[in-house]
């Protein structure tokens, strides 16, 4: 008989902890705030806190939890699982390794230090408040995420949008600019370029998430500057029933099956992007199939699916 699991959890709990508890796992949340004193006294105080909880496993969620609790958890003697998006600081955990290392994608795992066990943990996608249904006729509204940096894919998108949806098209695009632009200089530059191309009146720029717009989008386009390490934005669109066009790189390409659950594109190739946008615009049956298959694919990223994958790792490290 499998012994009951008791997990000490440091870091943001989120919906995954709720799913673990529903599955019968006892989860003990520990405070992230550091006790007083120097580094050595903090490590021993945290070691004592972990040992007092008598866990079967210690779970460190995120880089701050790993850097703050990694050494103490290792000294406490229980198997330690790290879930990371970014590598911990090189000097904080020299020689400390987890029993298992989790990341949101293979792309993210390749950036992290080696571990005895490395696994991809499915990201958790929130259930949408409303599911979209593909519109009849041409694309009316696109949701686009592209980098604000001038060296990114934004100028490629503007040219492709002009080619795919030139006059007399009334197609609009809501463009979320990701990245730092504290003075708004890059946004103004993009607006000027869009106006020069004759499409300024059909573009809306924003730095806010596109989630509130998803129910009224006909397609979602994701063009990151660098290969993404988690597929959450693309999966969120899928879960809302919106067909997706994503970059052929990074975590997006790990969850999108080309021509089945979405389309993939070279983010820096304006001709390829134009072609894929035109496919979405002119082929309503394709849009409908992508939306339905994407919605089905997103069901693999519920809290329950992630919890079952995590429980399998916990059992493996015992």
| 223-269 pLDDT per residue, tens | 988 899 999 999 999 999 999 999 999 999 999 999 999 999 998 89
The answer to whether 273 touches 156, Cβ cutoff 8 Å, is: yes
3-state secondary structure of 32: coil
Task: Give the model confidence (pLDDT) of 284-315 as tens digits.
Answer: 999 999 999 999 999 999 999 999 999 999 99
Band (pLDDT 50/70/90 cuts) for residue 198 is very high
More confident residue, 207 or 260: 260
- The CATH architecture to which 6-124+302-317 belongs is 3-Layer(aba) Sandwich (3.40)
Q: Which helix (H) or strand (E) holds 265?
A: strand 263-265
| Among the ranges given (28-37, 73-82, 219-228, 277-286), the one the predictor scored with the smallest mean pLDDT | 28-37
- Mean pLDDT throughout 49-59? 95
Instruction: Answer whether 229's CB lies under 8 Å from 251's CB.
Output: yes
CB atoms closer than 10 angstroms to residue 212: 10
Q: What is the CATH number of domain 141-299?
A: 3.40.50.2000
Intervals of CATH 3.40.50.2000 along the chain: 6-124+302-317, 141-299
- Please report the pLDDT score of residue 95 as a whole number: 72
Structure token digits, residue 163:
């080619």
Reply yes or no on whether the pLDDT at 204 is more than 90.
Answer: yes
Q: Which residue has the higher pLDDT, 4 or 5?
A: 5
- Taking 3-state DSSP, the helix, strand and coil percentages for the chain, each rounded to the nearest 5, stand at 40, 20, 40
pTM as predicted: 0.92
Bridge partners (DSSP) of residue 206 are: 176
CB 8 within 8 A of CB 28: yes
pLDDT (tens digit per residue) in 126-155: 988 778 776 667 889 999 998 876 555 578
Residue bearing the bigger pLDDT, 3 or 283 = 283
């Amino acid at each position: 008989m499998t012994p009951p699991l008791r997990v000490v959890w440091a870091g943001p709990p989120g919906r995954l902890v709720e799913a673990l508890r529903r599955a019968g796992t006892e989860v003990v949340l520990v405070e992230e705030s550091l006790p007083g004193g120097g580094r050595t006294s903090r490590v021993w105080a945290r070691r004592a806190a972990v040992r007092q909880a008598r866990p079967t496993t210690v779970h460190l969620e995120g880089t701050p939890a790993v850097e703050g609790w990694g050494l103490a958890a290792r000294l406490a003697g229980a198997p330690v699982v790290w879930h990371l998006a970014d590598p911990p600081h090189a000097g904080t955990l020299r020689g400390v390794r987890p029993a298992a290392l989790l990341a949101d994608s293979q792309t993210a795992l390749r950036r992290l230090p080696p571990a005895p066990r490395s696994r991809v943990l499915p990201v958790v996608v929130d259930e949408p408040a409303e599911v979209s249904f593909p519109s009849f006729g041409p694309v009316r509204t696109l949701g686009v995420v592209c980098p604000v940096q001038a060296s990114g894919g934004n100028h490629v998108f503007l040219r492709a949008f002009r080619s795919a949806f030139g006059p007399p098209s009334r197609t609009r695009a809501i463009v979320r600019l990701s990245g730092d632009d504290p003075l708004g200089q890059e946004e103004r530059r993009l607006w000027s370029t869009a106006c020069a191309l004759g499409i300024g009146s059909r573009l809306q720029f924003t730095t806010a998430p596109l989630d509130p717009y998803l129910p009224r989008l006909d397609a979602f386009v994701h063009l990151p500057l660098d290969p993404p390490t988690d597929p959450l934005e693309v999966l969120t669109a899928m879960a809302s029933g919106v067909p997706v066009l994503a970059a052929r790189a990074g975590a997006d390409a790990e969850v999108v099956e080309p021509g089945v659950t979405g389309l993939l594109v070279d983010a820096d190739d304006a001709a390829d992007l134009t072609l894929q946008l035109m496919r979405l615009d002119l082929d309503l049956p394709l849009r409908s199939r992508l939306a339905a298959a994407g919605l089905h694919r997103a069901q693999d990223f519920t809290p329950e699916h992630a919890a079952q994958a995590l429980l399998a790792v916990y059992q493996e490290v015992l």
